[in-house]
Amino acid sequence: MKPEILLVDPMMPAIEQALDATYTVHRLSAAPDRDRLIAEVAPRVRAVVTGGGTGVKPAVVDALPNLGIVAINGVGTDAVDLEHARGRGVRVTNTPGVLTDDVADLAMGLVIAASRRMAAGDRFVRAGQWPKGKLSLARKVTGKRMGILGLGRIGEAIAKRAEAFGMGIAYTNRNPRSDVAYRFIASPEDLARESDILVVAASAGPASRNMVGRAMLDALGPDGILVNVARGSVVDEPELLAALTEGRLGGAGLDVFADEPNVPEGFFALDNVVLQPHQASATVETRTAMGQLVLDNLEAFFAGRPLPTAVV
């Protein structure tokens, strides 16, 4: 008898095939009526596999009496209530490490794209405007001051890349780090004031919710660039939209939003914003490695072995 699992978000075909080989997979995203599927399979489901941004609601965890593990296909754990899972005796795993480079690469891509107006330039050429005029000047990247909000694995990988661009690097973190030479600035607002480019790489949760609000955006200022590759919840989205619209902030590169996949339409009209549909870990190589880690965690769980990347 194969153990039964609930797959919340689709994964790469090769990973789904590997899941099918070992488990009976109930696919939530393909179900015409999700609540009905959950009710039907609830007593038999031993594992939930879900995306970092999607997670699983406590009510669903509570509806699955034999659930033993939630395997997150992502590093962020904010969409799963970890304390609730702990209370229910449910293990939780994520996929740290394997996606660090990709997220840092995309962050630098957004820094360059937003500063150098690459998306606006692309639209300009496609619209046949080049023969009629010139794109307005962009902002230089090399040598700028970068502030990093959250210097964990991903923040540090972004800092390493920024070093190659001759940037001065400062950061805010829960605690100063003794193992890096970057400048620690305790106050997020001071960090923004002393940065040309502010990159959000902090983990999401109650402590960082709406942390980047009006005060920080105004401190970053009309020439400042904000890049967010963490979670939409860390930034006060209406304040960000207002700052960009009113010219109080220079530009933004955004991979994440408060209510994905819904992006406030106000952003669509802004030429100084580069938008991505949560792509930071979305490469064949990294999604393969993330999927493999999910498979490894499930295998260890069902074999009664220690979990490779346990959070709970």
Cβ closest to ligand 8YV, residue 53 vs residue 250 = 53
C-beta of 280: minimal distance to ligand 8YV in Å? Answer: 6
Q: Which of 34, 40, 123, 260 is catalytic?
A: 260
> DSSP string covering 93-159, please?
E---STTHHHHHHHHHHHHHHHHTTHHHHHHHHHTT-GGG--PPP----TT-EEEEE--SHHHHHHH
Instruction: Judge whether 231 counts as a catalytic residue.
Output: yes
> DSSP string covering 97-109, please?
STTHHHHHHHHHH
Bond prior to 261 in cis (omega within 30° of 0): yes
Q: List residues binding ligand 8YV (CB under 6 A).
A: 9, 51-53, 73-76, 99, 278, 281
Position with the least CB separation from ligand 8YV: 74
Of 155, 157, 100, nearest in space to 286 by CA: 100
C-beta of 152: minimal distance to ligand 8YV in Å? Answer: 12
C-beta of 311: minimal distance to ligand 8YV in Å? Answer: 12
Cβ closest to ligand 8YV, residue 151 vs residue 290 = 290
Query: CA 308 to CA 300: how far, in whole Å?
Result: 8
| Contact assessment for residue 79 and residue 53, using Cβ atoms and an 8 Å cutoff | yes
Cβ closest to ligand 8YV, residue 53 vs residue 188 = 53
Angle between helices 100-115 and 153-164 in degrees, nearest 10:
50
Query: CA 76 to CA 84: how far, in whole Å?
Result: 16
C-beta of 79: minimal distance to ligand 8YV in Å? Answer: 8
Cβ closest to ligand 8YV, residue 76 vs residue 224 = 76
Q: Strand, helix or coil at 91?
A: strand
Cβ closest to ligand 8YV, residue 172 vs residue 228 = 228
Q: Which of 46, 193, 278, 287 is catalytic?
A: 278
Query: CA 111 to CA 225: how far, in whole Å?
Result: 8
C-beta of 159: minimal distance to ligand 8YV in Å? Answer: 19
Q: Which of 231, 237, 239, 287 is catalytic?
A: 231
> DSSP string covering 44-59, please?
GEEEEEEETTT-B-HH
| Contact assessment for residue 23 and residue 5, using Cβ atoms and an 8 Å cutoff | yes
By annotation, the residues acting in catalysis are: 231, 260, 278
